[in-house]
Structure 1
Amino acid sequence: MQTIDFSDFQKLELRIGTIIHAETFEKARKPAFKLQVDLGEIGIKNSSAQITENYDIEDLKGKQVICVCNFAPKQIANFISEVLITGFKDEKGHVILSTADNKVPNGSLLF
């Protein structure tokens, strides 16, 4: 494992937001959802997430997720992903979303 300085960690802008919309991403090469995440003062941002193995669309609305907000936008097929929603791989290699135990204000920074 490579070590970094705390100042390197501080360059990441990790914030929590609430998923307000989810739909199937038909044009993605791998199964994915298009998500809209309310990040409070930052606004509503789009993201593509390969989470179809562990989540149903109906269960995503209202879920808070931790996002990297300062990566450059990335085009995926015909969609611009503006934030990276974080997660961990389970024993089968499928993503489990990173979230908080309790609800916190949208846009709150992880520290």
Structure 2
Amino acid sequence: MQTIDFTEFQRIDLRIGTIIRAEVFAKTKKPAYKIWVDLGTLGIKKSSAQITFHYKPEDLLGRQVLCVCNFPPKQIADFMSEVLVTGFDDGSGQIVLASVDKNVPNGSKLY
């Protein structure tokens, strides 16, 4: 594993947000959702997420998720993904969302 120093870690803007909207993203090659995340003072940001195995759109509403907020936006089909919603491989290649065990204010930064 390659190591990084703490200043490199600090450059990654990891913040918590609440999913306020989710819908099937029919135009992708792999199954995905369009997701809108309330990131507090950063506003509402969009993301495309391949998390259809473990989650249905209606189950995502109100869930807090950890997002990388300082990647450049990425065009995916006709949708501009503005943040990366993070998660972990469940051991079979499917993603389980990274979250918190207690609600915190939207936009809170990971330290």
Q: Structure 2 matches for 1:50-89, cutoff 5 A?
A: 50-89=50-89
Displacement of 1:20 after TM fit?
Answer: 0.1
| TM score, norm. by length of structure 1 | 0.99
2:90 paired with 1:90: yes
2:26 paired with 1:31: no
1:104 counterpart residue number? 104
SS class of match (1:47): strand
User: How far apart, in 2, do the equivalents of 1:42 and 1:2 lie?
Assistant: 31
- Please report the RMSD computed on the Cα atoms of aligned residues, expressed in angstroms: 0.4
How many residue pairs get matched? 111
User: How far apart, in 1, do the equivalents of 2:58 and 2:45 lie?
Assistant: 19
SS class of match (2:52): coil
Displacement of 1:91 after TM fit?
Answer: 1.6
Provide the identity percentage. 64
User: How far apart, in 2, do the equivalents of 1:81 and 1:91 lie?
Assistant: 26
Displacement of 1:92 after TM fit?
Answer: 1.0
- Return 5+ residue gaps in structure 1 as ranges: none
Structure 1 stretches of at least 4 aligned residues deviating more than 6 Å after TM superposition: none
| TM score, norm. by length of structure 2 | 0.99
- Return 5+ residue gaps in structure 2 as ranges: none
User: How far apart, in 1, do the equivalents of 2:56 and 2:82 lie?
Assistant: 22
1:6 counterpart residue number? 6
Q: Deviations over 1:47-73 (max 9, x none)?
A: 000000010111000000000000000
User: How far apart, in 2, do the equivalents of 1:30 and 1:76 lie?
Assistant: 11
